[in-house]
Structure 1
């Protein structure tokens, strides 16, 4: 049979290429007849019917009709009353062998015989392209991929590692690189050609396969370059295949048919040559490639692609180019490739993230660096205005979209927490609706579509492959006008790009601005509603006003907040105004800052009984034996939420697990490292012990002890009859997980749930969870840990006649820098109302020093609401130091200036 087929190929070589032979060869498992005889009939029929090869449309139509006749003869149309003598369902067709049916199908086609309506070639290969975002993809019947011919009947160029190495060696020998330049130009400018390049293949000792790999004159277009399974079939080496797997390498959901190690070796060999030899041609080819793909995705809706996997193969190959972050590639090719890649449907982006995470870990940092350099170059070199901002530049937004794919790939490639750590209400939401928000803070903020498709969340990443901070881009963060970005975020127009939806690229300081605008707009909205209610005769207070006594601060504050929470919780979203009874200060922000600081100092004091202090970390934790009601903890959660909502930094020291739990994740064994380092080290020793004598060595059972707030020792059994169950090699992980779950979750479940409920009352509609990760929320609540007065000096402004060169100003900074850290914090407290450093450092404070008259004995005065220090023009540095220290050490309360 092989001899007959090869004779036909010799006779009709050009004709076979132009018609259907190699197309259908890939579908041979779908036909019960002898494939070669069937298609010899077809090709012979074409040759006697036409002088020239058929067009694509005619060929496809003829092929489909012949296949319908074939299945009509063998399977029938399914109508038991069929009267078509050429249909098996009529009973008028005698038993035909597959080969006889194939021959008769061609005759019926040539006679234009009757064809039953119900007859369909159900076994014809079809490729379904999954629908993606904005319906860029459609589910279409697509013909099989032809590895050797293009849509116009011409053979597609392609590359393998062996071919590229041969070309390189040949060019070196001839001292001419024209063949290499032409090859790279042809392959890398064609998506079809590149998708067929560097494919995984099974090893074969076939001399014909070896000949194809070495053929010097047909490297780009070998007439017999069908897939190697087909070559072996022609040599009589065919083997039985699973009918559901027509190709040698069918990737699973997180795999690819591209031989990525081969690609890397090929690129390594290519860049062993001088770059000027070929790089210009390669860059031009990549630009053409990116343009064509973007056109396909935006205009032709990818119908020109046979499958999404073929398109992904292209991106997998080009993003392996090691020089993407250099010179011409960065300026010309990379941003074009990013534009094309950003047009992919969400399903395809998710698969790319999985493949990168599984097969390209070592490549991820370099790729991130290239994208960061591209964004930085475009930001620094751009001319942006209010009418044309960074959100409108696709040279910036496109690499940001690609960086999101990389962001999730980094999480998939790192350490992920199991789904069991999602808190109860979150888990129910996620299981009931995959597209529902998994945000613990804001149920109204939708989950990122790509994260939903991948089934992950930033909170799931315990340790990503690339640190989250490496994704920050400071030049971009500084260039963004967050008021406009927030407007784009709130816009219902889908084409508006907002970096708030790509918050991983923004620094915490910039994200804080986004949260600030959201909070302020919500406050103004509540104020407008109060005004309208007043107009219609139902006057309400436009502010959340608290009047408290200094000596009864906690009682007064909690009582008033409890009344607000019970009567109208939405009032918590109004702007907070605090008034200390008997004091005349008007709250423009400074009074509120002191109020929060005093509340925190008192209520988080262990003597108050609601919270305890960890011995080895001095961090605050919930008292598991507290006698306070749930309402008290709810009110503390409200206070924490109000501090964030009103942009006030608090002096609290929670372990990181608190912020993870606020965002909807349970505490786990890994959280013990921050919660109690001593206990964590002990547990690690137990977990890493490999001996079989664990019960005798550690004498640890599933009964654990802990001390309550009074110092009394209590016990808890992690499992039933835990006192009789010793920890062994087989159950030590279970013990560690149960112990951590008890300490971080179950023992304080009542207290923490109440605390979280109060926190959500204030922040439930805020984009807090969209913008911030747990460690960033800690910065938001507690401020930065970097205390640098040099930053404060560089950012300070001067008024009232002072300049940076004024003698009193120079003396002030000499004194400020010479103070011990504790006194510096008091100075910061005196001037701004808070001794905490805001997110982004002291440069964010924008302090103002104003001249307050000539030399006198008066003390300096501060307007904490506006960060203004009124400093008399003291004549000597000694006098300035004396008056300043008295002011910061003895100031308390608010009086009328």
Structure 2
């Protein structure tokens, strides 16, 4: 009888031999299942997949009826291995299989790699290590031996292939190889751990542990021989791929369909076998080649979606612990699949990228790779969380009632923190605790995908179906989106909140109540900008903190500028310049890193640090970039993690290197070499030395090899946490008052929040030139426009910052680079002596058509050097 792999190929090949009249079981199943499963050819790919899945189910019933499952104790009357089963011919078995598949009247047994026929007709020799069944020679795995796909066999075959000619048959029988690689149980047994293996003993030890935290390790412990798997595929790679590529693609597709049937229909599977099988399948070196990308990989992604959460966690842990070298290989294959799909498909508002199952299922699998990548990296042990900030809830019954009445209530902002990702919670991992992932986070960004997403639609799905899976939203998978794309989602979130506050004011007026101000209005004097701003913000925070979530409107006293965004930009720039000036005394400059830090000896009150936090939160909330230079530890602390020794590398590189040298020093004379006690010294804002004992009587306690780690941790904890605890707690409280309902922490990592606050550091004015639009008669080919860009590209970085400040109201580059800054250059009359002017609210530069390049340079440099304030044009 032909092998199972031949049945697979016969069911797929369009050139299957119709002239072959041999009455083999394969032909019988093929002919009878075709008569039952015929569909309309115009029905599309979905019916083809259903047809193929049904055929696979019929084949499984057929082989179960004819050959059995291999279990001598089987009691399934529809299995040939059972004593209750009737003897059937091939034709009879095919007919019964079709009926069972239609009615689903029988359970499918667990499949075994060596299909043993009826128990009374078993032809296996008890003294032999092999069993001849249906021309498939599979070694007896119960005696801890490998099948013919073991690494030693493949090595022998690949070496033999080096001397073989092009026409010689492949050493590994294709039918045997295809059957093995298309059956999850076979793959698991090929590379499964032996009963007495070290890893299995470790797994059992973890299972027997009384520690509840070890439960997950028990479930996902090492159950396959990763080293043999890697060696086998390395040897297979020596064989020319043309000998096995098409066969392997077909086998992987069959494997995925089998898994889908197991998970979706029969509901009878071993999670450990399935996950181990998937790990092995993704070790294939050619998984990123074209045939695999088009057929095998999408089908595997589809099957993995049906696995439960526990299986996803086990898959991530196996990848992180035993296959971390393959993570880049898997990630690149998934990125290539998504990119090819996105660039080759014409999406529209009707059919969006969120509706493309090939893309969405690959993204879901990439999430497992993402967490595996974090687990495989350097994870901080025992991270210390910051104390939670409690903001007194301020109820607005009228406003809450309005949310329930108006149509936009379906997209309202949540008043509670977003739930933690279930997979992250199951794996007990947080990106804040990962100091260095195995692969950089940036490798997970997919720019073509990010550019093709309709963020307004994706955001609506993200907010309305945040607790369901009925509509896919990429914002639930933020690791794949660039910071610029995610910032657009945050922009929609903040704008909807602002509009909600306006509607509340309108309803108050309708019912006759005293309407609150629909905007957050600040009226300040340029000469007293800090005092005026802090006083007004303090009053608002005390009376009704919810007003901080309204749209900001700034007015400079004595000036006529109307704030459509530009006035607010200048307000933030001026206030930041003064607040972070060391002469003001609230922050100090770190000389090595050129960053600002909280002054531990500041004379300012907690209220003032709270108001600084409000300013930072308002900048993010109103989509304004600030010229602040905090070290990364500030953003980690804002997101809920205290500073640790690793954070000193960015905060004070010299101190970090010195302490690291101490940790790396292994000599017994550490006490004499470093002569360091548990008393430390730091300087205040005036340069005076201040001493602090990390322990009682620290001056008499020297640092030794035994306590050096304790000293380093206590030193870092004091500098980054305890010494500025009062100042930072107040600062974080002000920040949270504005951002408490925002999905900021769910969408962004600390380094992305830094970009969100400070903007990009890439001053590429070529990007700005490409994205600039023209109006009033100017085009990119106009003489004055060519002169303008010729002048701009020759400016130094300081002058370029001044140009940005003049035209946009901010000298910072937006998130994503200057290509995201939509500058408009408009004609402002013929040649004249007037200086160029700008509408900073709308990024519009009004440029007269000067007669020469020299005159354009002169007028432009004067305009950007002496511009300040707003006046009527």
**Interval of TM-score (by shorter of Structure 1 and Structure 2):** 0.7 to 0.9
- Compared CA separation, residues 446 and 202, structure 1 to 2 (3 A): closer
In 2, the alpha carbon distance for the partners of 1:482 and 1:260 equals 41
- Compared CA separation, residues 251 and 643, structure 1 to 2 (3 A): closer
Matches for 1:390-405 after TM superposition, within 5 Å: 390-405=353-368
In 1, the alpha carbon distance for the partners of 2:234 and 2:669 equals 52
Q: Specify the alignment match of 2:95 in structure 1.
A: none
In 2, the alpha carbon distance for the partners of 1:150 and 1:805 equals 79
Q: Does 1:458 align with 2:431?
A: yes
Q: Does 1:502 align with 2:495?
A: no
Q: Is the 8 A contact 2:803 2:864 kept in 1?
A: yes
Q: Specify the alignment match of 2:493 in structure 1.
A: 518
Deviations 1:857-888 (A, max 9, x none): 11111000000000000001111111111111
Matches for 1:640-655 after TM superposition, within 5 Å: 640-655=616-631
Q: Specify the alignment match of 2:190 in structure 1.
A: 197
Larger Rg: 1
| SS of residue paired to 2:339 | helix
| SS of residue paired to 1:613 | strand
**CA deviation after TM superposition for structure 1 residue 508, in Å:** 1.0
In 2, the alpha carbon distance for the partners of 1:800 and 1:15 equals 81
In 1, the alpha carbon distance for the partners of 2:245 and 2:736 equals 56
Q: Specify the alignment match of 2:57 in structure 1.
A: none
Matches for 1:232-631 after TM superposition, within 5 Å: 252-297=218-263, 299-300=264-265, 303-305=267-269, 307-425=270-388, 444-492=417-465, 493-538=468-513, 539-631=515-607
Deviations 1:477-503 (A, max 9, x none): 111111111011012252211111111
**CA deviation after TM superposition for structure 1 residue 683, in Å:** 1.2
Q: Please, which of 754, 757, 760 is the counterpart of residue 733 of structure 2?
A: 757
**CA deviation after TM superposition for structure 1 residue 584, in Å:** 0.7
Q: Specify the alignment match of 1:127 in structure 2.
A: none
Q: Is the 8 A contact 1:718 1:738 kept in 2?
A: yes
Q: Does 1:690 align with 2:653?
A: no
Q: Is the 8 A contact 1:19 1:53 kept in 2?
A: no
Q: Specify the alignment match of 1:814 in structure 2.
A: 790
**CA deviation after TM superposition for structure 1 residue 711, in Å:** 2.2
Q: Is the 8 A contact 2:478 2:747 kept in 1?
A: yes
| SS of residue paired to 2:292 | helix
Q: Specify the alignment match of 1:859 in structure 2.
A: 835
Q: Specify the alignment match of 1:736 in structure 2.
A: 712
Of 258-267 and 347-356, more deviation after overlay is shown by: 258-267
Q: Is the 8 A contact 2:66 2:88 kept in 1?
A: no
Q: Is the 8 A contact 2:69 2:111 kept in 1?
A: no
**CA deviation after TM superposition for structure 1 residue 199, in Å:** 2.1
Instruction: Figure out how many residues of one structure are paired with residues of the other and give that number.
Output: 722
In 2, the alpha carbon distance for the partners of 1:619 and 1:524 equals 36
In 1, the alpha carbon distance for the partners of 2:623 and 2:85 equals 80
Q: Is the 8 A contact 2:220 2:313 kept in 1?
A: no
Q: Is the 8 A contact 2:334 2:366 kept in 1?
A: yes
In 1, the alpha carbon distance for the partners of 2:727 and 2:217 equals 49
Q: Does 1:846 align with 2:822?
A: yes
In 2, the alpha carbon distance for the partners of 1:882 and 1:646 equals 35
Q: Does 1:186 align with 2:162?
A: no
Q: Is the 8 A contact 2:521 2:553 kept in 1?
A: yes
Deviations 1:200-229 (A, max 9, x none): 23689xxxxxxxxxxxxxxxxxxxxxxxxx
**CA deviation after TM superposition for structure 1 residue 853, in Å:** 0.3
In 2, the alpha carbon distance for the partners of 1:685 and 1:700 equals 13
Q: Is the 8 A contact 2:70 2:112 kept in 1?
A: no
Q: Is the 8 A contact 2:383 2:433 kept in 1?
A: no
| SS of residue paired to 1:544 | strand
Of 151-160 and 780-789, more deviation after overlay is shown by: 151-160
| SS of residue paired to 2:288 | coil
- Compared CA separation, residues 602 and 442, structure 1 to 2 (3 A): farther
Q: Is the 8 A contact 2:523 2:556 kept in 1?
A: yes
Q: Is the 8 A contact 1:16 1:22 kept in 2?
A: no
Q: Does 1:635 align with 2:611?
A: yes
Which consecutive residues of structure 2, in runs of 5 or more, have no partner in the other structure? 1-63, 76-80, 90-106, 123-132, 139-146, 198-203, 209-215, 391-413
**CA deviation after TM superposition for structure 1 residue 285, in Å:** 1.6
| SS of residue paired to 1:421 | coil
In 2, the alpha carbon distance for the partners of 1:460 and 1:664 equals 10
In 2, the alpha carbon distance for the partners of 1:20 and 1:484 equals 53
Alpha-carbon RMSD: 3.1
In 1, the alpha carbon distance for the partners of 2:259 and 2:112 equals 19
Q: TM-score with structure 1 length normalisation?
A: 0.76
In 1, the alpha carbon distance for the partners of 2:682 and 2:172 equals 76
Deviations 1:336-380 (A, max 9, x none): 111111221111111111111110011111111111111111111
Which consecutive residues of structure 1, in runs of 5 or more, have no partner in the other structure? 1-13, 25-38, 40-44, 55-140, 205-240, 428-440
In 2, the alpha carbon distance for the partners of 1:789 and 1:511 equals 23
- Compared CA separation, residues 366 and 152, structure 1 to 2 (3 A): farther
**CA deviation after TM superposition for structure 1 residue 146, in Å:** 5.0
**CA deviation after TM superposition for structure 1 residue 834, in Å:** 0.2
Matches for 1:9-20 after TM superposition, within 5 Å: none
Q: Specify the alignment match of 1:665 in structure 2.
A: 641
Q: Is the 8 A contact 2:113 2:180 kept in 1?
A: no
In 2, the alpha carbon distance for the partners of 1:50 and 1:145 equals 17
**CA deviation after TM superposition for structure 1 residue 698, in Å:** 1.5
In 1, the alpha carbon distance for the partners of 2:358 and 2:224 equals 28
Of 688-697 and 772-781, more deviation after overlay is shown by: 688-697
In 1, the alpha carbon distance for the partners of 2:182 and 2:293 equals 17
| SS of residue paired to 1:324 | helix
Deviations 1:512-531 (A, max 9, x none): 11111111111111111111
- Compared CA separation, residues 814 and 567, structure 1 to 2 (3 A): same
Q: Is the 8 A contact 1:426 1:664 kept in 2?
A: no
Matches for 1:121-270 after TM superposition, within 5 Å: 148-149=114-115, 159=147, 160-161=149-150, 162=152, 175-177=168-170, 180-201=173-194, 252-270=218-236
